[in-house]
Amino acid sequence: MDTGLKTHILPAGAAATATAAGVLAEGGLVAFPTETVYGLGADAGNAAAIARLYQAKGRPAFNPLIAHVADLGAARRIALFDGQALRLAEAFWPGPLTLVLPKALSCPVAELATAGLDTVAVRIPAHKVARDIIKAFGGAVVAPSANLSGHVSPTTAEHVNGDLAGRIDLIVDGGPVEVGVESTIVGCFSDPVLLRPGGLTRAEIERVLGHPLQSPPADAESDAQPIAPGMLASHYAPRTPVRLNASDVHVGEALLAFGPVKVGRRECASVEMNLSERGDLAEAAANLFGYLRTLDTRNADAIAVMPIPEDGLGEAINDRLRRAAVGR
Ligand code: TXA
Ligand code: MG
């Protein structure tokens, strides 16, 4: 769907913030940087704008959105916080954590954005550009990652433009993002559940809770009854097949390395990129989606990915890579 819409791109700053707030107020779609990935924002209270957003992304409408707010007061008008939810909010907001909570009584988020659930996902982003836009707009902004549905999330304004030019009104360019993987999603039910590993590690969350996070039920990824519906197994796939835990390279494959490169037949790789030569997981997370996008353009037979440790941010990185490997 190219609507023939002209997508404007503005460098982040006061003028872009004011323009973005105006576009949101008129029901338009604005992509902006958060610390995790670029988001595609719409007025959380405007069902028509949200319908356009789903259309622009080509996203199934059963996949609910995260409401982004500027402060805890705004979050509490949207959702009900119990003691544990408040502890997490106070420890980690603003930051790469999304809480799924029961909706507040007169929750201002449109039903369409919560896909008919009686829960709502909320977060306060840490990126100055995101917060300035939300504050200037004056209400909650729903924002999925600013990519076409099924593509990897965008970490630069160029990625957004590549996917969504002609489909959205405005892109605010704040440079590459810091974290590089999406927020960690915790469902605050009687026992907090890790719905999606992300930019905040499990260990940091468990330290504040004082007990382990639960895992979602095994059928959470079924299309029929999604718990974190965006976690459909094939959500993050590039077009090129992805081969995980590669210990050697097949002829015609691209190599996505991590740390010191200890793979067999390295010379067979048509192209090689290293997520972090020094084996730093934060650096790898920041590079992950951009490198997948780049390797996806190289017409390789497959992308061979070296093993990545599962600790810290490795949990989120491996989660995204497993989804990429399922294909679409
Ligand atoms: O870092 C991020 O979270 C980025 C930036 C832009 O904030 N946003 C993002 O949004 O990743 P999106 O739409 O790509 O992913 C939101 C996830 C989806 O998996 C969705 O199913 C889940 O949140 N979600 C939203 N509302 C939910 C709810 N009420 N219950 C369970 N899962 C929910
Ligand atoms: Mg997404």
pLDDT tens column, 254-269: 999 999 999 999 999 9
Residues with CB under 5 Å of ion ligand 2 are: 145
Task: Identify whether residues 82 and 200 lie together within a single domain.
Answer: yes
Task: Identify whether residues 214 and 128 lie together within a single domain.
Answer: yes
For 86, 234, 245, 305, the CA distances from 76, given in Å and listed in that order, are: 10, 33, 43, 42
Cα 231 to ligand 1 centroid, rounded to whole Å: 9
- The structure tokens 């996902």 sit at 121
Out of 181, 204, 230, a domain closes at 230
Tokens (6 digits) for 229:
């519906």
Task: Identify whether residues 34 and 136 lie together within a single domain.
Answer: yes
Task: Identify whether residues 175 and 251 lie together within a single domain.
Answer: no
pLDDT at res. 234: 54
Question: Up-side HSE of residue 44: CA atoms within 13 Å toward CB?
Answer: 27
Task: Identify whether residues 259 and 137 lie together within a single domain.
Answer: no
Find the CATH number of the domain harbouring 17. Answer: 3.90.870.10
Out of 230, 261, 288, a domain closes at 230
Does residue 173 form part of some domain? yes
List residues bridging with 305 in a β-sheet: 256
The average pLDDT across 210-234 equals 63
Task: Identify whether residues 174 and 284 lie together within a single domain.
Answer: no
In 217-286, which ranges are E strands? 242-243, 254-257, 271-274
The span from the CA of 98 to the CA of 200, in Å, is: 10
For residue 295, the one-letter residue type is L
Task: Identify whether residues 295 and 248 lie together within a single domain.
Answer: yes
Cα 261 to ligand 2 centroid, rounded to whole Å: 30
User: Is the ipTM above a cut-off of 0.95?
Assistant: yes
Task: Identify whether residues 186 and 44 lie together within a single domain.
Answer: yes
pLDDT at res. 325: 92
Q: In whole angstroms, how large is the CA radius of gyration of the chain?
A: 19
In 113-210, which ranges are E strands? 119-123, 141-142, 170-173, 184-187, 193-196
Find the CATH number of the domain harbouring 281. Answer: 3.40.50.11030
Pocket of ligand 1, beta carbon within 6 A:
34, 36-37, 39, 63-66, 98, 100, 114, 117, 119-121, 125, 143-145, 182-183, 185, 195-196, 227-231
The span from the CA of 102 to the CA of 105, in Å, is: 9
Segments forming the whole domain that contains residue 126: 8-230
Does residue 2 form part of some domain? no
How many domains is the chain partitioned into structurally? 2
- Give the torsion sign (CA, 140, 138, 34, 79): negative
Does residue 111 form part of some domain? yes
Q: How many residues does the chain have?
A: 328
In 146-249, which ranges are E strands? 170-173, 184-187, 193-196, 242-243
Out of 230, 261, 287, a domain closes at 230
Could you tell me what percentage of the chain is helix, strand and coil, using 3-state DSSP and rounding each to the nearest 5? Answer: 35, 20, 50
Task: Identify whether residues 54 and 76 lie together within a single domain.
Answer: yes
226 pLDDT tier (thresholds 50, 70, 90): very low
Task: Identify whether residues 104 and 143 lie together within a single domain.
Answer: yes
Task: Identify whether residues 248 and 312 lie together within a single domain.
Answer: yes
For 29, 119, 122, 229, 264, the CA distances from 166, given in Å and listed in that order, are: 11, 33, 28, 27, 44
Does residue 36 form part of some domain? yes
Does residue 88 form part of some domain? yes
Does residue 272 form part of some domain? yes
The average pLDDT across 318-326 equals 91
- Mutate which of 59, 112, 142, 145 to test ligand 1's pocket (most atoms within 8 Å of Cβ)? 145
Task: Identify whether residues 138 and 202 lie together within a single domain.
Answer: yes
Tokens (6 digits) for 208:
């504040």
Cα 248 to ligand 1 centroid, rounded to whole Å: 35
Give tens-digit pLDDT for 36-68.
999 999 999 999 999 899 989 987 766 899 999
